[in-house]
Chain A
Amino acid sequence: MSREVHNGPTDETQARGTPYSGDPSGGKGATPPDLDKLPLDSWHRSRGARMVPFAGYEMPVQYEGIIAEHLWTRENAGLFDVSHMGQLLVHGRDVEKALEALMPGDFQAAADMKPKYSLLLDEEGGIIDDLMATRRGDDFYIVVNGATKIGDIGYMEKRLPAQVVIDHMKEQALLALQGPRAAEVLETIVTGVSGLGFMQGGPFQWNGHKLWISRSGYTGEDGFEISVPSSAAADLADAIAANELVKPIGLGARDSLRLEAGLPLYGHDLDDRTTPVMAGLTFAINKRRRADGGFPGAMRILAELQNGPVEKRVGFEIDGRQPVREGALVLDGEGNEVGKITSGGFSPSLQRPIAMGYVAAPLAEPGTALKLEQRGKLFDARVAPMPFVPHRYHRKGA
């Protein structure tokens, strides 16, 4: 039996199209590097995790099985260790303006403690990384993808003015508790968290440790992301996992959950050849930034906003049972190549294959019939609206 691994386990990695996304250092001819251990390494192993190299770390890809973990998260609460992600604190005089020179977000108008999705862009408007940025008083707390964090920091430091400084918070672990029961579980451990609305954060205390908690995540479910000192991470994970509504969840289910939620994964669905407009992430560019520009690649991105992009990120529903994965081609009725699949797999919630990819803009309307080609085999598919599984975020007052 041969073994080909077709899609990456979680929300980051490397250049699109590398055959084995578990490649730890980001692909492109990398040699096996020394892998770092997560603060919760032994915690994962003691719970039966299968560890795989990912983003330079040994990380849990699954515990009892991807489908069971996926469905558990949709129904109860799943605990994810995402400590490989980069947690940065950016501060200094006029930090807002400095960040606006690198990203299309409105940092000047950013409200305190409200995480905002943004994108680190190159001069052509290509996406270097996607991230969450939160104003915390005078500072910005930024969470970037694990596989890209070192590159991001280098890129930003080279371009930020001298008075703006990046602290890489290497001593912080990051946990995510996701699912419809997440709020009731976490409230029993950290009083007050259930008062947060979706995309709202705040400082909390637990057992004498400072936590930063936001109501956010990457599964499409309600849930929280918890920044905790590494030294206290195992104790906190124990306290959360002690609740019978909670199971630890690996990278495999994290990937299938985010795909069902229609959320793009950096290194697969986003890279430096895609722009925020192609990727359908224009919500991350508000009215003022569209009017004023001043972010990298603004000329191209503003033109794309006005005239439409050449290709667009879309979802696909696929006939049959066989998964169509990253790298498959999208063909029109005449067999012309009109796009590419960037993520794909079997949806545990829907029990059928789903995929995400890019297609020429005129063919991006939901319902458009197309063919997908994978390993010489053709599949009937249609452009589908995303998310595939509805989001269930906890929006206050909604």
Chain B
Amino acid sequence: MSLYFTKEHEWVRVEGDTATVGISDHAQEQLGDIVFAEVPETGKRLSKGQEAAVVESVKAASDVYSPVSGEVTQGNSKVADDPSIVNSDPEGEGWFFKIRLDDPGEVEGLMDEAAYRDWLKTL
């Protein structure tokens, strides 16, 4: 299992040919109180960089981009029902969707956790 991050503050946790995608703790912190989340439907095809989900806080609306290409196997209905989970556990229970990877090698261009945390310090 390996964890990667994008410069758009998504995380992607890869297990075999599937991955789980969410937004980072930094992202939820920046957004503030999250009041709405919309996750993709099972079976939806996503290409890397495509808008995959919506997250809205009291102040801001954002698109969550898919960091990888593939087919959605599950959207997290829990965050749609209670979006505050994204605040309380962004890199755990607050995941947005699971996706079957077209190309497991696609994540290689992304940052690993240490690189992401270091990069955050430069922002």
Give which listed residue, A65, A66, A323, contacts B56 with CB less than 8 A.
A323
Q: In the bound complex, do residue A321 and residue B59 qualify as a contact, i.e. CB atoms below 8 Å apart?
A: no
Interface string of A316-332 (1 = CB under 8 A from B): 00000111010000000
B110 at the interface (CB under 8 A from A): no
* CA distance in complex: A122, B35 (Å): 39
- Given A1-B27, A346-B36, A325 and B65 touching (CB < 8 A)? no
> Range of interface residues on chain B?
20 to 34
Q: In the bound complex, do residue B62 and residue A3 qualify as a contact, i.e. CB atoms below 8 Å apart?
A: yes
| Residue among B35, B60, B83 with max Cβ neighbours from chain A (10 Å) | B35
Q: In the bound complex, do residue A323 and residue B63 qualify as a contact, i.e. CB atoms below 8 Å apart?
A: no
Which residues of B, 2-36, contact A by the 8 Å Cβ criterion? 8-10, 23, 27, 30-33, 35-36
- Given A1-B9, A1-B10, A1-B27, A323 and B55 touching (CB < 8 A)? no
Which residues of A, 302-318, contact B by the 8 Å Cβ criterion? none
Give which listed residue, B9, B30, B32, B65, contacts A252 with CB less than 8 A.
B32
A244 at the interface (CB under 8 A from B): no
Q: Chain A residues near B33: list those with CB within 8 A.
A: 65-68, 348
* CA distance in complex: A35, B27 (Å): 25
Interface string of A48-71 (1 = CB under 8 A from B): 000000000000011001111000
* CA distance in complex: A256, B58 (Å): 8
B72 at the interface (CB under 8 A from A): no
Q: Chain A residues near B63: list those with CB within 8 A.
A: 1-2
Q: In the bound complex, do residue A345 and residue B27 qualify as a contact, i.e. CB atoms below 8 Å apart?
A: no
How many chain-A residues does the 8 Å CB contact rule pick out?
24
Q: In the bound complex, do residue B58 and residue A5 qualify as a contact, i.e. CB atoms below 8 Å apart?
A: no
B64 at the interface (CB under 8 A from A): yes
Shortest B49–chain A CB gap in Å is: 11
B38 at the interface (CB under 8 A from A): yes
A6 at the interface (CB under 8 A from B): yes
* CA distance in complex: A12, B57 (Å): 21
Q: Across the two chains, which residue of chain A brings its CB closest to B84?
A: A67
Q: Across the two chains, which residue of chain A brings its CB closest to B7?
A: A1
* CA distance in complex: A65, B84 (Å): 12
- Given A1-B10, A62-B32, A346 and B55 touching (CB < 8 A)? no
Q: In the bound complex, do residue B30 and residue A67 qualify as a contact, i.e. CB atoms below 8 Å apart?
A: no
Give which listed residue, B32, B56, B65, contacts A322 with CB less than 8 A.
B56
User: Mind listing 20 A-B residue pairs with CB under 8 Å?
Assistant: A1-B23, A1-B65, A2-B8, A2-B62, A3-B62, A4-B60, A4-B61, A4-B62, A6-B59, A66-B33, A66-B59, A67-B35, A68-B33, A321-B36, A321-B83, A322-B38, A322-B54, A345-B58, A346-B58, A348-B33
